[in-house]
């Protein structure tokens, strides 16, 4: 299980930090999961991101009781947990301005 403190994968400007390709793929995937789950509140859920590891299917992601985001891949079984995502660039709750 991948346990991630979302603040640790961002740099000072709030953008994705890791420069190494492998770490970046993982970081981008987690950012997509955060955007997906935070944007789904009260509406139809948009398509979840594809598993970063097997790329076979989209992951199941939801909000845990302690406000962390938990995700699982139904194909390869990889799972993870993301905390401290609130307030990041990918936190789409109460979105006011369309993002480009």
Residues of this chain that interact with Zn ion (CB under 5 A) are 51, 53-54, 73, 75-76
In the complex, minimum distance from the CB of residue 52 to Zn ion, in angstroms, rounded to a whole number: 8
- Residue 7 or 24: the one with the smaller Cβ distance to Zn ion is 24
In the complex, minimum distance from the CB of residue 7 to Zn ion, in angstroms, rounded to a whole number: 25
- Residue 24 or 53: the one with the smaller Cβ distance to Zn ion is 53
- Residue 14 or 77: the one with the smaller Cβ distance to Zn ion is 77
Under a CB-based contact definition with an 8 Å cutoff, are residues 52 and 29 in contact? yes
In the complex, minimum distance from the CB of residue 29 to Zn ion, in angstroms, rounded to a whole number: 10
Q: Could you tell me the two tokens for 2? A: 């991948």
Question: Helices marked H in the chain — which ranges?
Answer: 21-39
Cα separation, 52 vs 27, in Å, equals: 10
Cα separation, 78 vs 35, in Å, equals: 19
């Amino acid at each position: 299980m991948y346990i991630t403190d979302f603040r640790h994968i961002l740099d000072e400007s709030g953008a994705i930090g890791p420069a190494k390709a492998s770490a970046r793929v993982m970081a981008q995937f987690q950012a997509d999961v955060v955007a997906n789950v935070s944007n789904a509140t009260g509406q139809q859920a948009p398509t979840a991101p594809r598993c970063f590891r097997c790329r076979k299917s989209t992951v199941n992601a939801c909000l845990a009781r302690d406000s962390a985001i938990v995700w699982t891949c139904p194909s390869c079984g990889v799972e993870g947990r993301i905390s401290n995502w609130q307030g990041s660039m990918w936190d789409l709750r109460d979105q006011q301005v369309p993002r480009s």
